[in-house]
Amino acid sequence: MIYEGTAVSDGAATGRVFQYEPYQPEIRHDTITKAQTKSCLEKYKDVLIQAEEELKRLIESSELEEEEKKIFQAHIDIVQDEEMRREIEEEITDNLLSPEWAIQEVYERYIKIISKAKDALIRERAADLKDVCQRLIRLWNGGHENPLSSLAGDVIVVARDLLPSDTAAMKTEYVKAIVTEVGGYTSHMAILARNYGIPAVLGVADILKNTENGQKIAVDAKDGKVITNLTVDQEKQYQVMREEYLRKISDMRQYLPLVPETLDKTRIDVCLNIGSADKSELELEQYTDGVGLFRTEFLYMSKKALPEEEEQFQVYKKVVTMYGERPVIIRTLDIGGDKKLDYLELPKEDNPFLGLRALRLCFEMKPIFKTQLRALLRAAVYGNLMIMFPMVGSIGDIRFAKQIVEEVKEELKQENIPCRTDVKAGIMIEIPSIALMADIAASEVDFASIGTNDLCQYLMAVDRLNPSVAKYYQSFHPAMFRLIRQIVEAFKKQKKPVSVCGEMGGNPQAAALLAGLGVRKFSMNASSLASVKKMISQMDICKAERMARTVLELSTAVQVEEYIKSELPD
């Protein structure tokens, strides 16, 4: 059988299915008999030991960043807490609650108290208690640790959806491919898969029902297919496909160290898009001209509570220090739309992509925005940090955002906290209204970056996550190139830099065309660096300009794609 979905991260794989289902605790409110108390207390002690061992293993695993290790160390302190232990044991012996009920009862009691603390930093600790409580209850019920963190052999992960919290500790080296029932090209999972170079096909309906654990399947992440009931021939075919793909990747690596310059000596900046800022993402840092897009929402999404100022500061500082003189463009929080935070309840909206998201949300939740700006301005002391605002729709948005930055600077100054006051501020251009106002916007900001994913979605009026309108999502539509030309010209006139950081920036053919329109800086995922550098080093800017002029006169996206294919064969 062949099941179809959206190919979001190139490659192919064959392997055995590993169905992942997130753990859902189910707490039974049972009482026990007096005679059972002794055995319950012993089993409870055993659960504490297991919890401690799990946490120690987590801390020792090299996957975690220092910050995360500290959090799990604090969890060990909570597990060992003598007072909690005494209270839980009392609930068991005196009130005859089953241990899982007793654990929940006592933890809830303190979660309530801590959630009421005056200090926000202390309130956030309630999330740690919740996490430990869940761990203990899971262990009591004999549940295993997140199975993705203890994979021991090659698998193809099949799931309904994979959230950042599911994948945070995933042993990526064993994951040969990912298949999910929901999600699309620009969902969180897709970005993660591309970062790690894991082939992925998302949006495959009912794939959990149609596969079973241990079953051998093939994933073709070029054409977006999942193949079950493999014949011997098919299995061979997909293994060959995988090997070819891996060979292509290793061949491509030779282009990584190239200085991105066209044959006629036009230097193009090639930058990196990052999210979590972990080791694997920054591995190719030396081959890039900077960070063109740091998607900070990943710092918020992989956690159980809002990240504190200090924590954000440390991450930003780490990246800007690493990059030295090279610019690091950090985008302020972009949630809403398809990106949700479990711990921050946002009102349900009928049209989340047209709703209260990104900068609009930050304007509504000013304290969250200010915390991030404080961390950014402080980290800017250590390198060439630039702040970028997402979802800017008007000149008013720009002015208001800049005004808040000024307020934060003033506050830091009052508190005598070192920060940089000359940090450059720029905008994402992804809403057509600001694209059309680019000439005026250019005089108000220091730089801009074109987010082609959202720009296409808003320009074409296509929900980019809705599979039934996927064919209308045409990023190669001539309208896109016409609009981008207008933006680039407007910024050129003001002598302000403009880059492209959406998926188009990481597509070698699109990058060639955009260079023809005058774009001199592209930012992309690590996996696209080599192919874009190869394209740049083998093209003439004159030819790119000629191609761009032709494309602007074409009528349809299909024509554009055919034209590119004829001019720039793979």
Partner 1 sequence: MYAKQVVIENETGLHARPASDFISLASKFKSKIFIRNMDEEDSCRANAKSIVMLIAQGLGKGVTAEISAEGEDEKEAVEALTELIKSKFGED
Task: Please report whether residue 367 would count as binding partner 1 according to CB under 8 A.
Answer: no
Q: Candidates 41, 114, 182, 258: give the one binding partner 1 (CB under 8 A).
A: 114
Tell me the two tokens of residue 75. Answer: 């969890």
CA pair distance 506, 8, nearest whole angstrom: 13
Q: Which lies closer to partner 1 via its Cβ, residue 4 or residue 308? A: 308
Active site residue 362: no
Q: Is 81 helix (H, G, I), strand (E, B) or coil?
A: coil
Q: Candidates 31, 39, 73, 95: give the one binding partner 1 (CB under 8 A).
A: 73
- Best CA proximity match to 40, nearest among 103, 98, 102: 98
Give least dist CB 363 to partner 1, A. 27
Task: Please report whether residue 83 would count as binding partner 1 according to CB under 8 A.
Answer: yes
Q: Of 40, 133, 419, 501, which is the active-site residue?
A: 501
Q: Which lies closer to partner 1 via its Cβ, residue 118 or residue 209? A: 118
Q: Candidates 32, 84, 162, 488: give the one binding partner 1 (CB under 8 A).
A: 84
Task: Please report whether residue 81 would count as binding partner 1 according to CB under 8 A.
Answer: yes
Please, are residues 560 and 278 in contact by the beta-carbon 8 Å criterion? no
Site for partner 1 in 127-166 (CB under 8 A): 129
2-4 and 200-202 beta bridge pairing: unpaired
Task: Please report whether residue 59 would count as binding partner 1 according to CB under 8 A.
Answer: no
Q: Candidates 121, 461, 469, 558: give the one binding partner 1 (CB under 8 A).
A: 121
Q: Which lies closer to partner 1 via its Cβ, residue 132 or residue 328? A: 132
DSSP letters, 289-356, are: S-EEEEETHHHHHTSSSPPPHHHHHHHHHHHHHHHTTS-EEEE----BTTB--TTS-----S-GGGSS
Q: Candidates 46, 310, 342, 562: give the one binding partner 1 (CB under 8 A).
A: 310
Give least dist CB 175 to partner 1, A. 32
- Classify residue 16 by burial, with Cβ atoms within 10 Å: 0-12, 13-18, 19+: middle
Task: Please report whether residue 70 would count as binding partner 1 according to CB under 8 A.
Answer: yes
Task: Please report whether residue 77 would count as binding partner 1 according to CB under 8 A.
Answer: yes
Q: Which lies closer to partner 1 via its Cβ, residue 70 or residue 549? A: 70
% helix / strand / coil in the chain, to the nearest 5? 55, 15, 35
Active site residue 133: no
Give least dist CB 374 to partner 1, A. 12
Q: Is 4 helix (H, G, I), strand (E, B) or coil?
A: strand
Q: Is 149 helix (H, G, I), strand (E, B) or coil?
A: helix
Q: Candidates 10, 64, 125, 190: give the one binding partner 1 (CB under 8 A).
A: 125
- Span of 17-25, 80-88, 220-228, 329-337 interacting with partner 1 by CB under 8 A: 80-88
Q: Candidates 2, 117, 354, 558: give the one binding partner 1 (CB under 8 A).
A: 117
Cβ-count burial 109-148 (b if 16+ within 10 Å, e if not): ebbeebeeeeeeeeebbbbbbbbbbbbbbbbbeeeebbbb
CA pair distance 481, 535, nearest whole angstrom: 19
Give least dist CB 61 to partner 1, A. 20
Task: Please report whether residue 66 would count as binding partner 1 according to CB under 8 A.
Answer: no
Give least dist CB 193 to partner 1, A. 33
- Residue type at 328? V
What value does the CA radius of gyration of the chain take, rounded to a whole number of Å? 26
Task: Please report whether residue 118 would count as binding partner 1 according to CB under 8 A.
Answer: yes
Q: Of 188, 271, 419, 456, which is the active-site residue?
A: 188
The CA-CA-CA angle for residues 7, 12, 14, to 5°, reads 125
Task: Please report whether residue 94 would count as binding partner 1 according to CB under 8 A.
Answer: no
- Span of 120-128, 355-363, 462-470, 518-526 interacting with partner 1 by CB under 8 A: 120-128
- Best CA proximity match to 299, nearest among 319, 283, 285: 319
- Tell me which residues touch partner 1 (CB under 8 A): 70, 73-74, 77-78, 81-84, 110, 113-114, 117-119, 121-122, 125, 129, 308, 310
Q: Write out the catalytic residue numbers.
A: 188, 501
